[in-house]
Structure 1
């Protein structure tokens, strides 16, 4: 399960919105999809996690693990 709080806090620190995540340079999807995935309603694929990690400037494996595999 993803760490929703940590993802949202990193988004806030980087001044990113869900619209930024939905953009073509990240997930290229609808806003409701981003909301559902970030809030744990729908699963995030590994490819999406990788793209989001880049957008969130998640540079090391420990941070990646904390965001996507830690409660």
Structure 2
């Protein structure tokens, strides 16, 4: 298992967390998504790692942005 944490901007509520979780979970190999609203972080657990570009695209689809 691989765990990667991303800084995500714009999340303020549980709806935000659900939206990001729903989109990131669609990425092949992702087994778990944890959203820390207070810290503005999303931790992605996957079988063999995920492509950062896929995570960025999923977060973007949810309406938020991965910080550079």
Fold conserved between structures, TM > 0.5:
no
Give the TM-score category using the shorter length: 0.3 to 0.5
Higher strand share: 2
Taking structure 2 as the reference length, what is the TM-score of the superposition? 0.41
Higher helix share: 1
Taking structure 1 as the reference length, what is the TM-score of the superposition? 0.40
